[in-house]
C-alpha cells in the first residue's frame, strides 16, 4: 500500500490529511498550511512527510565537508540580547590580525576544502580590510573555498566604506570571496528584531544583500534563529520570504535552523525549546522550503547524537569537520567540543542507514560511501 493510501485511510485531522496529501503529491503548501503542520500534525507524520521530501530532492545522500572556521573578532558594535559570543557578554575578547588568520590557513592540512570566516561586527574595520583578508587567504591557499561574512557584517562594512551593497559584494568577490554564510537572519519580523537585536540590520537589508549576492553569482546559505520569543507564524513568514527569494534567484544552497541557546546572555530567562520541537522544526522546514535543496543540522549547536536523529526529519547535511575552530555556540552552552573527523561523520551517517557524501562548498560530490 502506498503512503498516500495509508494517510487517506487514517483517522488524522482532515486539514492535516489534506496538507499531507499535497506534500506527497509535490504540491506547494501555503503559509496557513505550514502553521497548521506546526500546531496540529503528529511528530511521526511530520517525520514521514519530511523524509519523503528529502528523498525526492537528494535521495539517500547525507552531505558533509572538510572545513575550518576563523572568527576574526568578538568585539561588536551590536549588543544583541540573545548573543553569548560578543565582548558584551563573553568573559573573553579577541581581535586577530590578518597575519594571524592567514597563518592559520597556511597551516591547515591539505584535506581542508573550505574556510568559513565569520565574526562580530568590529567598529573599526571597513570593507577594504576584509577584502584584503580574503585576498591574502586566497593567495595563500588558491584552491580553498572562501565562505565569509554574514549580511550583517557586509551591511556595516559597505556603509562604513561608502559603497552600495552591489559595489561592496563585487569588491569582495574580486578579492576571492566564493560564497556567503546565512547568518544574521535571526527572525524576519521587525517587531521581534527590535526586542532581541534592535540595532541590527532589518529584514529588508538581509534579503537585499542576499539577493544582490545571487545576482552577482555568489551563492549563499540562509538561517533562522528559532526557539526564543517567536511564534510558529513568525517561522513560517521567515521561510516564506526565503522561498520567494529562492523562486526569484535560485541562489540558496542550504537552509540552517539555528536553535536559541540560553546560557550567558540577556535572554536566559526564556529557556530553550525541547528536542522534540527541534525535530519538528527540521521537518516543517524541509516540507515548506521545497525549492532549497539542502537542509543542514549544525551539529556543534545541537550535538552529534541529535544531529544523527535529525536525519529522520528531513535533514541531509551535517556541515563539516570544523576542527574545534568555533566558539559561537560553545559560549552559549552547547557543550560540544566542535570537532569531528571525516571518518566520524561517515560512521554517524552510515549508522543512520544513509549514504555519506563528502562534498565541496556548492554540493558537488567529492567522494561517497
Cell reading at 31: 503559509
CATH 3.40.50.300 corresponds to the domain 59-368 = no
The dihedral region occupied by 221, where left means phi > 0, alpha psi between -120 and 50, and beta the remainder, is beta
Nearest partner of 283 among 76, 19, 80, judged by Cα: 19
Alpha carbon of residue 300 to chain centroid: 12
pLDDT for 262: 82
* Residue 91: band (very low, low, confident or very high) from pLDDT cuts 50, 70, 90: low
pLDDT for 328: 42
CA–CA dist 18, 249 (Å, integer): 30
Residue whose C-alpha cell is 535572554: 267
pLDDT digits (tens, 9 = 90+) for 211-254: 999 999 999 999 999 999 999 999 999 999 999 999 999 999 99
State the CB neighbour count (10 A cutoff) for residue 199.
Answer: 12
Radius of gyration of the chain (CA): 20
CA–CA dist 312, 50 (Å, integer): 8
Assess whether pLDDT exceeds 60 at residue 329: no
* Residue 110: band (very low, low, confident or very high) from pLDDT cuts 50, 70, 90: confident
pLDDT for 226: 97
CA–CA dist 203, 59 (Å, integer): 33
What residues does each domain of the chain span? Answer: 3-41, 59-368
Cell reading at 226: 528559532
Over range 316-329, report the average pLDDT.
Answer: 67
Stronger pLDDT, 201 or 11, i.e. the higher one: 201
Assess whether pLDDT exceeds 60 at residue 90: no
Assess whether pLDDT exceeds 90 at residue 82: no
Assess whether pLDDT exceeds 80 at residue 10: no
Amino acid at each position: 500500500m502506498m503512503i498516500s493510501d495509508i494517510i487517506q485511510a487514517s483517522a488524522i485531522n482532515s486539514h492535516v490529511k489534506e496538507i499531507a496529501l499535497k506534500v506527497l503529491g509535490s504540491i506547494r503548501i501555503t503559509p496557513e498550511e505550514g502553521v497548521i503542520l506546526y500546531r496540529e500534525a503528529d511528530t511521526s507524520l511530520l517525520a514521514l512527510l519530511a523524509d519523503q521530501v528529502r528523498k525526492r530532492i537528494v535521495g539517500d545522500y547525507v552531505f558533509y565537508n572538510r572545513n575550518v572556521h576563523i572568527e576574526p573578532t568578538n568585539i561588536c558594535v551590536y549588543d544583541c540580547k540573545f548573543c553569548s559570543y560578543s565582548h558584551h557578554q563573553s568573559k573573553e575578547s579577541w581581535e586577530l590580525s590578518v597575519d594571524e588568520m592567514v597563518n592559520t590557513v597556511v597551516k591547515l592540512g591539505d584535506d581542508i576544502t573550505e574556510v568559513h570566516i565569520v565574526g562580530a561586527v568590529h567598529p573599526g574595520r571597513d570593507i577594504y580590510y576584509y577584502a584584503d583578508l580574503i585576498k591574502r587567504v586566497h593567495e595563500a591557499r588558491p584552491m580553498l573555498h572562501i565562505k565569509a561574512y554574514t549580511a550583517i557584517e557586509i551591511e556595516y562594512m559597505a556603509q562604513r566604506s561608502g559603497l552600495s551593497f552591489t559595489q561592496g559584494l563585487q569588491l569582495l568577490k574580486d578579492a576571492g570571496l566564493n560564497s556567503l554564510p546565512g547568518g544574521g537572519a535571526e527572525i524576519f519580523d521587525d517587531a521581534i528584531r527590535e526586542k532581541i537585536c534592535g540595532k541590527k540590520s532589518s529584514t529588508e537589508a538581509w534579503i537585499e544583500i542576499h539577493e544582490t549576492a545571487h545576482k552577482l553569482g555568489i551563492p549563499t546559505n540562509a538561517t533562522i534563529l528559532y526557539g526564543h520569543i517567536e511564534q510558529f507564524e513568525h517561522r513560517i513568514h521567515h521561510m516564506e520570504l526565503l522561498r520567494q527569494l529562492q523562486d526569484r534567484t535560485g541562489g540558496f544552497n542550504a537552509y540552517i535552523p539555528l536553535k536559541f541557546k540560553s546560557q550567558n546572555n540577556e535572554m536566559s530567562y526564556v529557556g530553550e525549546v525541547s528536542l522534540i520541537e527541534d525535530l519538528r522544526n527540521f521537518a516543517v522546514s524541509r516540507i515548506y522550503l521545497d525549492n532549497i535543496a539542502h537542509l543542514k543540522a549544525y551539529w556543534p549547536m545541537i550535538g552529534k547524537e541529535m544531529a544523527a536523529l535529525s536525519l529522520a526529519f528531513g535533514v541531509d547535511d551535517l556541515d563539516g569537520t570544523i576542527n574545534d575552530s568555533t566558539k559561537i555556540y560553545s559560549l552559549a552552552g552547547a557543550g560540544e567540543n566542535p570537532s569531528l573527523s571525516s571518518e566520524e561523520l561517515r560512521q554517524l551517517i552510515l549508522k543512520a542507514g544513509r549514504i555519506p557524501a563528502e562534498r565541496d562548498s556548492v554540493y558537488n560530490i567529492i567522494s561517497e560511501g
